[in-house]
Amino acid sequence: MGRSGAFSHERRIDRNIGAAPRPSASWDQFKAAFVQADGRVIDTGNNGISHTESQGYGMVLAEAAGDRETFDSIHSWTERTLARSEDALFSWRYVPTDPNPVADRNNATDGDILIAWALTRAAARWGDRAYKSRAAAIRKSIHEQMVRPMGDHVFLLPGLSGFENDGRLTLNPSYYIWPALSLFQQVDGAKMWGPVIAGGEALLRGARFGPLRLPTDWVDVTAPNDFTPALGRPPLFGFDVIRVPLYLMMDGRMDAARDMSGFWRSYQTRGAAIPATVNVVTGEVAPYALSDGGMAVANRVLGVPAAPKAPMTDYYSAVLQELCSLV
């Protein structure tokens, strides 16, 4: 599901809520490339499917651009097509070529978080009570259904089904969208979200593997501080986890991204192409470089001037480029 500090968080979030719309040129390009007239956001790298990640990112970017018409279109399609009747979560995937496009009823927690984050920000920007109420319901369902204890910590499951096996939780570090969680704590209180944030911080500290001390896309936890690369999945610092340093930067938590930024900097300082993935166990790197979106993240985290934006043809690469504009 998905692609497979002490810093004044509250002050930063307060400044971002209701901030003046940023220049819309790149958003207009993104919208033209990936957002249908009915509000479906298309993942061009995954055979034209849509999912709560794409819908959530679309809503986040539309709100940031001050584009309420597109925000409402994306939100309406998401509610109409992916909302689950039994709770305030969403079915994670829409496959337009299937007889039943929403056959998999499982959720994806990152998509749910993105949607709730976008709605919470939109409620503050546009003063809409319906946004506020729906955002609160989604946050409540996430907290009630996706939080699992493990010893002294609690962690966010990536989805309702498939991530709890024989006392082992399988987690995805990139599903901890740090600026969203900080905003959730601001509006709902530390009693509700403080333990979730603390569990995510424990995951950040513990999921450091191999000589490079890098996290993997998927991580197993079998005890409060016993983290390993996920069983049955490649132990890659890869396409999912690349978002983690950017989310940390958005939330003023750059100290937690030191190992990841250091890996990228080791290539940047010698003028070498940064590989798209690295196996944290063997050290083997992909024979191809980061995508344009991945390079946008690396450059933003390293403080390197951004390259001109590449043509927006690949959904995920374009999302990463657009997210960098929000920092």
- State the 10-residue block means of pLDDT for the chain, 327 residues long: 36 38 73 97 97 98 96 98 97 98 97 98 97 98 96 95 94 98 98 97 95 96 90 96 96 90 94 96 96 95 83 94 92
Q: Count structural domains, the chain.
A: 1
Cα–Cα dist 152/144, whole Å: 18
Identify the helix (H) or strand (E) that includes residue 13: helix 9-16
**pLDDT the model gives residue 110:** 98
The reply to whether 115 falls in a domain is yes
Q: For residue 207, give its domain range.
A: 9-324
Q: How confident is the model at residue 307, as a pLDDT?
A: 74
Residue 240 lies in a domain: yes
pLDDT at 76: 98
Residues annotated as catalytic (active site), given as ranges:
53, 110
Work out the end-to-end distance of the chain between its first and last CA atoms, rounded to an integer number of angstroms. Answer: 25
Predicted local confidence at residue 306, as pLDDT: 75
| CATH value at residue 232 | 1.50.10.10
Pick the closest to residue 147 from 206, 213, 192 (CA basis).
192
In a domain, 58, yes or no: yes
pLDDT at position 224: 74
The reply to whether 31 falls in a domain is: yes
Residue 266, CA atoms < 13 Å, CB-side half-sphere: 7
> Per the domain annotation, does 275 fall within a domain?
yes
CA distance 33 to 17: 26
What does each C-alpha distance from 293 to 114, 135, 241, 248, 306 come to in angstroms?
19, 29, 13, 17, 11
Residue 4 lies in a domain: no
Nearest to 249 by CA among 190, 154, 323, 316: 323
Closest CA to 55 of 101, 179, 17, 63: 63
Give the Cα separation of 79 and 81 in Å (integer).
6
pLDDT of residue 309: 76
Look at residue 1 in the predicted model and tell me its pLDDT. Answer: 53
> Residue 2: inside a domain, yes or no?
no
Q: Contact 274/290 with Cβ under 8 angstroms? A: yes
